[in-house]
Chains A and B, each alone.
Chain A
Amino acid sequence: MKILDGIILAQTKNRTHRIRNSISVIISSLLFGVLFFGALFVSGMLNSAEKYQDFGFNKRYLTIVLPQYGGDGGWDAAEGRARSIANKDLESRGIKVTDEITESEEYRNHVIELTFQDLDKQLGQIYDELAKKNDQKFHPSAKYEMRNISTLNNSAEAITNDPDPLLTKAKDATEKRTLQKTINESNWQDNLSFNLLDNEMAQDMLSDGQSMKVGDDGSIPIFMPYKIVSKFSSVKIDKKGLSTAQINQKYRELFNDVIGKTVEYCYRNDAAKDLLIRSLEYNYQLAKDKSKETPITINDCAPISDKRLDQTLPTDAEIKKPLFPKADDKQQTIAPITKTLRFRISGIAPYSDPFDRSNIIFSQVNIWPSGTPMIIPSTVANDSIELKQIIDAEASNTDYSSTFYDFENRADQKRFIASGCQGSFECGSKPGDLWIQPFGNVRVALEMFFDIFKILILILAAVTVAVAMFTTMAIIGKTIGESRREIAIFRALGARRRDIAQIYVGFGLILTFRALLLAFVMAVVAALILSYKYANAFNAELIAATGAYTSNINSSLIGFDMLWLLAISGALIMAALLGLILPIAMGTRRKLINQLREE
Chain B
Amino acid sequence: MQKDNSDQSDPKIRQIISQEYNGNTQQLIDELRSYLRSLNEKSEQPAIEPARDFSNQPIIVKVNNVSYDYHITRKNIVHALKNVSLEIHQGEIVALMGASGSGKSTLMSLIGGLDRPNNGTITVNDQDIGKLSNGQLTKYRNQTVGFVFQFFYLQPFLNLRRNVEVPLMFGRSKRKDRHEPIDRSISAVNLTDRASHKPKELSGGQMQRAAIARAIVNRPKLLLADEPTGNLDSKSGADMMNIFSEIREQFGTTVLIVTHDQNIAGKADRIIYMKDGEITHENP
- A and B contact pairs by CB, cutoff 8 A, 5 listed: A8-B169, A489-B149, A491-B141, A494-B142, A496-B138
> Which of A485, A496, A596 is within 8 Å of B170, CB to CB?
A496
Contacts of A319 in B (CB 8 A): none
A490 interface hit (Cβ, 8 Å): yes
A592 interface hit (Cβ, 8 Å): yes
Write out, one digit per residue, whether chain B residues 164-178 have a CB within 8 A of any chain A CB (1) or not (0). 001101111001000
Q: Count chain A CB atoms within 10 A of each CB in B105, B115, B155, B171 and give the residue with the most.
A: B155
B114 interface hit (Cβ, 8 Å): yes
Q: Count chain A CB atoms within 10 A of each CB in B114, B142, B147 and give the residue with the most.
A: B114
B254 CB, nearest partner CB in chain A, Å:
17
B17 interface hit (Cβ, 8 Å): no
Q: Are A597 and B169 in contact (CB under 8 A)?
A: no
A6 CB, nearest partner CB in chain B, Å:
8
Tell me the count of chain A residues lying within 8 A, CB to CB, of chain B: 27
A563 interface hit (Cβ, 8 Å): no
| Interface set, chain A 478-510, CB cutoff 8 A to B | 485-486, 489-496, 499
A566 interface hit (Cβ, 8 Å): no
B65 interface hit (Cβ, 8 Å): no
Q: Are B166 and A493 in contact (CB under 8 A)?
A: yes
Given A9-B155, A485-B153, the answer on whether A493 and B167 have CB atoms closer than 8 Å is yes
B277 CB, nearest partner CB in chain A, Å:
14
Contacts of A493 in B (CB 8 A): 141-142, 147, 166-167, 170, 214
Q: Are B114 and A499 in contact (CB under 8 A)?
A: no
B102 interface hit (Cβ, 8 Å): no
Q: How far is the CA of A500 from the CA of B162 in the complex (A)?
A: 17
Contacts of A11 in B (CB 8 A): 157
Nearest B-chain residue to A486, judged by Cβ? B153
Nearest A-chain residue to B116, judged by Cβ? A593
How extensive is the interface on chain B, given as a class? Answer: 20 to 34
Q: How far is the CA of A359 from the CA of B112 in the complex (A)?
A: 76
Q: Are A492 and B170 in contact (CB under 8 A)?
A: no
Beyond A491-B141, A494-B143, A494-B170, 19 additional contacts (C-beta under 8 Å) are A1-B170, A1-B172, A5-B169, A8-B158, A8-B162, A490-B166, A492-B147, A493-B170, A494-B141, A494-B142, A494-B167, A494-B218, A499-B170, A591-B115, A593-B109, A593-B110, A593-B114, A593-B115, A597-B106
Q: How far is the CA of A5 from the CA of B143 in the complex (A)?
A: 18
A84 interface hit (Cβ, 8 Å): no
Q: How far is the CA of A492 from the CA of B169 in the complex (A)?
A: 13
Q: How far is the CA of A4 from the CA of B176 in the complex (A)?
A: 13
Contacts of B114 in A (CB 8 A): 492, 592-593, 596
Contacts of B23 in A (CB 8 A): none
Q: How far is the CA of A486 from the CA of B158 in the complex (A)?
A: 14
| Interface set, chain A 294-326, CB cutoff 8 A to B | none
A15 interface hit (Cβ, 8 Å): yes
Write out, one digit per residue, whether chain B residues 87-113 have a CB within 8 A of any chain A CB (1) or not (0). 000000000000000000110011010
Contacts of A4 in B (CB 8 A): 175
Among all A-B residue pairs, the 10 with the closest Cβ atoms: A494-B142, A5-B169, A593-B115, A494-B170, A495-B170, A593-B114, A489-B153, A12-B157, A493-B167, A492-B147
